[in-house]
Amino acid sequence: MLMYEFKTELLESSLKLGFNDSASPKDLEKLDEFLNQQQEEGWELVTYSYMTNAFGAKSAFAITFKRKK
């Protein structure tokens, strides 16, 4: 039976909700570095979710990965 282990990470972002949403180049670079690091450790992206507080002052992505045990 194939078994996986899972982990979820929070990655903070400067992205805010509004009509002119856009990710900064710094945010994109940070995301690429993070995803590449996880891949090097054998983790595969499963899902992600954008989360913000009620006032949009902070935001983050909950990113879930899996890998074979």
User: For residue 34, is it within any domain?
Assistant: no
User: For residue 67, is it within any domain?
Assistant: yes
Asked if residues 10 and 61 have their Cβ atoms less than 8 Å apart, the reply is yes
User: For residue 5, is it within any domain?
Assistant: yes
Q: What is the pTM of this model?
A: 0.76
- pLDDT tens track for 4-37: 999 999 988 776 655 456 677 887 888 899 999 9
Reading the block at residue 51, the tokens are 């989360």
Return the residue matching tokens 């400067």. Answer: 14
Domain extent, residue 5, equals 1-19+42-69
For the chain, counts of helices (H) and of strands (E): 1, 3
Domain count, the chain: 1
Return the residue matching tokens 């992205």. Answer: 15
pLDDT at residue number 42: 97
CA distance 38 to 32: 10
- pLDDT tens track for 37-55: 999 999 999 999 988 776 6
CA distance 28 to 47: 17
User: For residue 25, is it within any domain?
Assistant: no
User: For residue 12, is it within any domain?
Assistant: yes
